[in-house]
Amino acid sequence: MMTMFALLSIFGSGAFLILLMLLHFLKPETSPSWRLISEYAIGRYGLLMRLAFWGLALAVLSFVVARVESGAGQFSLIALSAIGLVLIGAGYFVSNPITVADDDKTLTGKIHDFCGGIVIVGFPLTICFVKGNILPLTVLVWLGFLYFIGSVIFYLSKTKTFGPKAKVGLSNRLMMLTYALWLIVHAALLL
């Protein structure tokens, strides 16, 4: 049973990465240099980004089940379960474009931002407590996270707003790539 859930985790992470890559070709108007991946959920082909988020949620939750069967620690598994559930919310509630002012954001966009914030900050914090964690891979996740946060701080200090001059899109993609790769490698170790 543990093997099946480890494979589901790998499948979910792979689906996330494949769908995200596909969206770069299907929606070239969504510039990867400054637009966040959440914006792929807006408009045409938006369902694919929602499925990508749900694929990553499947990966996280399947990893949790596989780890429970291996007798892993409880705190990290409860926290990872919360991350998985919040990813479901991030997929369900569609983001606003990054250029929308805070006062003009829709309720669904605000909920998506809340869910996304929990995933962005919670994932690197939580994996530090996973038993049997591969340190170099965790460092890679933290570098991806810090690169994204650093990009946001740097560009917002210069431009005061998100837009084409705030090049935060690539760092957002790199961060999410490290999250998915961490899941793939750690799930593969359970096989």
Per DSSP, the residues of 81-150 read: HHHHHHHHHHHHSPPPPTTS-GGG--HHHHHHHHHHHHHHHHHHHHHTTSTT--HHHHHHHHHHHHHHHH
pLDDT at 32: 96
pLDDT at 155: 83
pLDDT in tens, the chain (191 residues): 899 999 999 999 999 999 999 999 999 999 999 999 999 999 999 999 999 999 999 999 999 999 886 666 688 899 999 999 999 999 999 999 999 998 999 999 999 999 999 999 999 999 988 888 888 989 999 999 999 999 999 888 887 788 888 899 999 999 999 999 999 999 999 99
Is there a contact between 87 and 50 (Cβ–Cβ < 8 Å)? no
pLDDT at 71: 63
pLDDT at 79: 95
pLDDT at 182: 95
pLDDT at 72: 61
Is there a contact between 55 and 16 (Cβ–Cβ < 8 Å)? yes
Note the pTM of the prediction, 2 decimals. 0.93
List of residues 6+ apart from 31 with CB closer than 8 A? 164, 169
pLDDT at 166: 87
User: How many whole angstroms separate alpha carbon 121 and alpha carbon 115?
Assistant: 10
pLDDT at 75: 86
pLDDT at 142: 93
CA distances for 68 relative to 72, 76, 111, angstroms: 6, 10, 30
